């Protein structure tokens, strides 16, 4: 459980951002941002923040839940004959501030237009990227939760390896993996699980289907757990169920080397694009550069994709407290794909790999 004072500290950081941006108030509409700032896990609610105001605008379904999850925040429960937009407009007018920002990436153009129409004052201005940079730097409670999500995912993977049979479909394997995560304390998968057999592994985001495990000697598995506080992990490993061809062995070692070399370079002050370049150079040196067709990784936390981005055009710089994936891959249509992914914490003097599943090729084999 994340303590209430942690959420209060996050809101204070946001208030400093508002002061720097000379923004008297802001309407937080993104549900994940609201959860990050308050601990509230409901939906259809907005958070109004400014100098001297911390107010969640919600409805009667969440009266008790708001009291339990964020007792230190004022809750405005709209009546059944008032919409969220109408109640928000009432509260905005009561603020008596000249300007209020709203998260333009979290509400539709139509909703924003309706809100502006019913609010005479304050002036509403679209804003973005106020909360997300705060979320990119994980506090100690978040890091603890991510460690737990990694642990749940890794135990579930061992459960899958112990129960997998060649006549299972990709869908059944994915079900087993999620079952394992729930057995070990997760509320479920952190995102849609990928279990891609053989040539289907050439699809970086393949959806599990009816292909059976025994139809190919290898399967790519991309999965992550979600803890009860909402934090996720994100891992990828290969499972080998048959003979290892020379191509599989050669390409696997290329991917593994690219990952290991790029992880070595991660640390505070390092540009994410430079780390991506290290992995890409390994691929290019082995003549398979074009087969690595996505970025090296991304930040994650309450969502599986958050700031920052590890890619050739990224302008992001690593800072202590960031947690990112490092996941190089090679994809050959008609043959298959290989990806290895670990979760990495940026520390003040380098990095720590949070995941511990072995990734040498022999350890990938189920005999």
Q: Kindly report, residue by residue over 170-214, the tens digit of the pLDDT.
A: 999 999 999 999 999 999 999 999 999 999 999 999 999 999 999
Whether 121 and 144 map to the same domain: the answer is no
Calpha distance 277→32 (Å, rounded): 31
pTM: 0.95
**Cα(301)–Cα(136) distance, integer angstroms:** 8
Strands annotated E in the chain = 25-28, 46-50, 53-59, 74-78, 99-103, 123-127, 188-189, 194-197, 218-223, 225-226, 235-240, 297-299, 306-310, 323-326, 329-332, 336-339, 342-347, 350-353
The pLDDT, as a whole number, for residue 241 is 95
Residues 178 and 51 in one domain: no
Question: What is the SS3 assignment for 219?
Answer: strand
Residues 35 and 78 in one domain: yes
Which helix (H) or strand (E) is 66 found in, with range?
Answer: helix 63-69
Q: How far apart are CA 181 and CA 174, in angstroms?
A: 11
Query: What is the residue-averaged pLDDT of the chain?
Result: 96
Give tens-digit pLDDT for 47-58: 999 988 999 999
Of 107, 134, 161, which residue is a domain's last?
A: 134
Say whether both 101 and 148 belong to one domain.
Answer: no
Residue that finishes a domain, picked among 115, 134, 153 = 134
Let me know the angle formed at the C-alpha of 292 by 281 and 237, rounded to the nearest 5 degrees: 105
Last residue of a domain, one of 134, 157, 181: 134
Residues 175 and 255 in one domain: yes
Residue appearing with tokens 């959420």: 7
**Residue 278 above 90 pLDDT?**
yes
Answer whether 129's CB lies under 8 Å from 14's CB: no
Residues 129 and 161 grouped into a single domain: no
- What CATH number has the domain bearing residue 230? 3.90.230.10
Q: Looking at the structure, tell me whether residues 292 and 332 fall in a common domain.
A: yes
* Confidence label for 117 from pLDDT (cuts 50, 70 and 90): confident
Between CA 159 and CA 168, with CA 165 as vertex, the angle to 5 degrees is: 105
Distance CA 108, CA 113 (A): 9
Q: Return the exposure string of 168-184: e unless at least 16 CB atoms fall within 10 Å of the residue's CB, then b.
A: bbbebbbbbbbebbeeb
Q: What's the number of domains the chain is made of?
A: 2
The answer to whether 258 touches 244, Cβ cutoff 8 Å, is: no
How far is residue 103 from each of residues 130, 214, 313, 337, measured CA to CA in Å?
A: 9, 48, 25, 38
Q: Is the pLDDT of residue 360 over 90?
A: yes
Span 279-298, average pLDDT: 98
What digits encode the pLDDT tens for the residues 151-174?
999 999 999 999 999 999 999 999
Omega before 308 within 30 of 0, i.e. cis: yes
> Cα separation of 115 and 29, whole Å?
12
Residues 148 and 127 in one domain: no
Provide the pLDDT for residue 118: 84
Residue 120 has pLDDT above 90, yes or no: no
The reply to whether 119 and 226 lie within a common domain is no
Tokens of 328: 């190089």
pLDDT of residue 51: 85
Containing domain of residue 357, as a range? 137-364
Cβ atoms of residues 312 and 273 within 8 Å: yes
Quick: pLDDT tens for 123-149: 999 999 999 999 999 999 999 999 999
CATH of the domain at 105: 3.40.350.10
Angle in degrees, 0-180, between the axes of helices 31-38 and 4-20, rounded to the nearest 10: 120
What pLDDT does 121 receive?
77
Contact residues for 30 (Cβ-Cβ < 8 A; gap 6+): 103, 105, 106, 131
Q: Are residues 175 and 258 in the same domain?
A: yes
Which residues, 6+ apart, have CB-to-CB distance to 268 below 8 Å? Answer: 318, 319, 320, 346, 347, 348, 349
Same domain for 266 and 219: yes
pLDDT at 60: 95
Indicate whether 112 and 155 sit together in one domain.
no
């Amino acid at each position: 459980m994340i303590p209430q004072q942690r959420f209060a500290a996050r809101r204070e950081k946001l208030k400093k951002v508002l002061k720097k941006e000379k923004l008297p108030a802001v309407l937080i509409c993104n549900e994940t941002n609201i959860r990050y700032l308050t601990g509230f896990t409901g939906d259809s609610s907005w958070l109004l923040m400014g100098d001297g105001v911390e107010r969640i605008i919600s409805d009667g379904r969440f009266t008790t839940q708001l009291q339990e999850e964020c007792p230190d925040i004022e809750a405005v429960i709209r009546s059944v004959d008032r919409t969220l937009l109408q109640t928000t407009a009432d509260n905005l007018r009561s603020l008596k501030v000249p300007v209020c920002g709203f998260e333009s990436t979290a509400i539709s153009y139509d909703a924003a237009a309706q809100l502006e129409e019913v609010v005479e004052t304050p002036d509403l201005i679209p804003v973005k990227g106020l909360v997300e940079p705060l979320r990119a730097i994980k506090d100690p409670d978040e890091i603890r939760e991510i460690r737990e999500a990694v642990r749940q995912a890794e135990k579930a993977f061992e459960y899958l390896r112990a129960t997998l049979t060649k006549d299972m479909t990709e869908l059944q394997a994915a079900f087993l993996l999620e079952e394992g995560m729930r057995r070990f304390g997760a509320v479920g998968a952190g995102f849609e699980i990928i279990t891609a057999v053989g040539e289907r592994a050439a699809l970086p985001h393949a959806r599990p289907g009816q292909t059976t495990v025994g139809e190919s000697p290898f399967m790519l598995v991309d999965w992550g757990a979600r803890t009860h506080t909402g934090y996720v992990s994100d891992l990828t490993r290969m499972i080998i169920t048959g003979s290892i061809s020379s191509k599989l062995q050669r390409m696997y070692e290329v991917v593994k080397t690219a990952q290991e070399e790029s992880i070595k370079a991660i640390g505070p002050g390092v540009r994410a694009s430079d780390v991506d370049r290290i992995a890409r150079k390994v691929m290019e040196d082995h003549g398979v550069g074009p087969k690595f067709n996505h970025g090296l990784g991304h930040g994650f936390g309450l969502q599986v994709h958050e700031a920052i981005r590890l890619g050739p055009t990224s302008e992001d710089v690593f800072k202590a407290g960031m947690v990112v994936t490092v996941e190089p891959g090679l994809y050959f249509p008609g043959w298959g794909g290989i990806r290895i992914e670990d979760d990495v914490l940026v520390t003040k003097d380098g990095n720590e790999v949070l995941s511990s599943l072995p990734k040498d090729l022999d350890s990938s084999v189920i005999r």
